[in-house]
Amino acid sequence: MPILSPRLLSDVLQIAETGGEYLRDFYTRSVQVQLKADNTPVTEADLFMSQFLSEKLTALTPDIPILSEESGHISVAERQQWPIYWLIDPLDGTQQFIERTGQFGILIALVQHNCPVLGLIHMPILQQTCYAIRGQGAYKKDVHGVQRLVPQPLDRAQRIKIAVGDGKMADKVRSILHKNIDYEFQIFGSSSLKSLLVAEGTSHCYVRLGNTGEWDTAAAEVILQEMGGGIFDPNFAPLTYNQRDTLINPHFVMTGCRQADWRQIFCFDNDTFR
């Protein structure tokens, strides 16, 4: 079982960055697209990256299992026998990749005793990476170097910048905002990018009222926790990992400041949002 260490983080960063180089190569050419059973797209880049990350992480830590969307069929009874496991999304934002927006990323998290303890979000086209290890802070790496991420204070006098996926999601989020809140929506593609925008302070929060997998939030969970933010569900409770039959998350809000009074901003009283 690996010790959380700078060496482990460095190795995972290298894996993600090498994977990013492969994705940039796929991005320059036409790729085959198929539809999965749930009618969502999957490309040859997704399949390649899933195999690549699985092979590299297995070589790095042979005794640690790997969980992803592709292996989501594993029963909770089996999964709960794992004291530690990798939780990955090899290509978050497949639709954005197909549409050539550049808003897609690689998500890698290490979960120990149902708690994410290492997380990494790598955006190959934007050349940005956020990463964290529990107890060691959160950082952003880009072309300008490495900087430590810090809490993003929020008070009611500010206009709240809310990251959402599209206009329809903005309409849903508008319905759960308390009256007299000054806000603006920021529309971006993949979950990984919106998570990164919250971590770096470009957005105050990212709201998702729809299905995501635990692999979509685990990396952001540890990054945000380490820089003073967090994630909560419609009951203002933390998300859980590997504790339910389903790996589908409830609705959630990611924030860059967990000390803000989010109950005065969002109202989830409508059962539709629970």
Q: Which residue in 237, 244, 243, 211 sits closest to 115, CA to CA? A: 243
Q: Establish whether 216 is an annotated binding residue.
A: yes
Per the CB < 8 A criterion, the answer to whether 200 and 140 are in contact is yes
Q: Establish whether 269 is an annotated binding residue.
A: no
The CA angle 210-214-218, to the nearest 5 degrees, is 120
Contacts 24+ apart (CB under 8 A), 269-273: 270/175, 270/176, 273/176, 273/209, 273/234
Q: Give the C-alpha separation, 86 to 4, whole Å.
A: 13
Residues 6+ apart with CB under 8 A from 21: 124
Residue 123 pairs with which residues in a beta bridge? 128
Q: Establish whether 87 is an annotated binding residue.
A: no
Q: Establish whether 94 is an annotated binding residue.
A: yes
Q: Establish whether 99 is an annotated binding residue.
A: no
* Exposed/middle/buried for residue 81 (C-beta within 10 Å: 0-12, 13-18, 19+): exposed
Q: Establish whether 69 is an annotated binding residue.
A: yes
Q: Establish whether 89 is an annotated binding residue.
A: yes
Q: What are the helix (H) ranges across 185-273? A: 191-200, 214-227
Q: Point out the annotated binding site for substrate.
A: 69, 91-94, 216
Q: Point out the annotated binding site.
A: 69, 89, 91-94, 216
Q: Point out the annotated binding site for Mg(2+).
A: 69, 89, 91-92, 216
